[in-house]
């Protein structure tokens, strides 16, 4: 039975996204569709997604926090935040084919779009890097396919 549930959802395409920030750092984005649950009339889907963002700080950003104190693990610092411009971006996406009980197929898409970024230069993380927050939104859409 577990395999039958897994067979209803097939990954068709995906692409990692990225963000280039005004401090020359790069963030990598990934979104994945974990599960899809149909909701009754009109045909709607509850699309369960998960995403991740990994920042690769520029050398200058690393130097900026080289001698700064370590941030307390599990807590975000309250001061020292500055907004960064998003210089360039490409959304991450994943598309899956989902088969409902009537054997109709739908192409379901999740897209993670980065919206804004901030950096804390008063503290460094365990890896000696500035602390970043990238705000992103995940949008879902679907269409019937033949």
pLDDT tens digits along 15-52: 999 999 999 999 999 999 999 998 876 789 999 999 99
The pLDDT of residue 1:
47
CB 112 within 8 A of CB 31: yes
| Domain extent at residue 97 | 2-145
The pLDDT of residue 4:
65
Helix (H, G, I), strand (E, B) or coil at 4: helix
Q: Which of 95, 119, 110 is nearest to 26 (CA)?
A: 119
The pLDDT of residue 102:
79
The pLDDT of residue 124:
95
**How many separate domains does the chain show?**
1
> What mean pLDDT value characterizes the chain?
93
Low-confidence ranges of the chain (pLDDT < 70): 1-5, 41
Separation between Cα atoms, residue 63 and residue 145, nearest integer Å: 51
């Amino acid at each position: 039975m577990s395999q039958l549930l897994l067979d209803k959802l097939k990954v068709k395409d995906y692409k990692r996204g990225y963000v280039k920030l005004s401090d020359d750092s790069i963030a990598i984005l990934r979104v994945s569709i974990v599960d899809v649950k149909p909701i009754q009339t009109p045909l709607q889907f509850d699309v369960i997604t998960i995403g991740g963002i990994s920042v690769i700080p520029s050398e200058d950003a690393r130097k900026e926090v080289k001698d700064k104190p370590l941030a307390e693990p599990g807590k975000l610092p309250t001061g020292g935040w500055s907004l960064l411009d998003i210089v360039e971006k490409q959304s991450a996406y994943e598309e899956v084919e989902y088969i409902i009980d009537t054997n109709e197929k739908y192409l379901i898409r999740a897209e993670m779009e980065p919206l804004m970024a901030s950096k804390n230069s008063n503290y460094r993380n365990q890896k000696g890097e500035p602390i970043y927050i990238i705000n992103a939104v995940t949008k879902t859409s679907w269409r019937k396919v033949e």
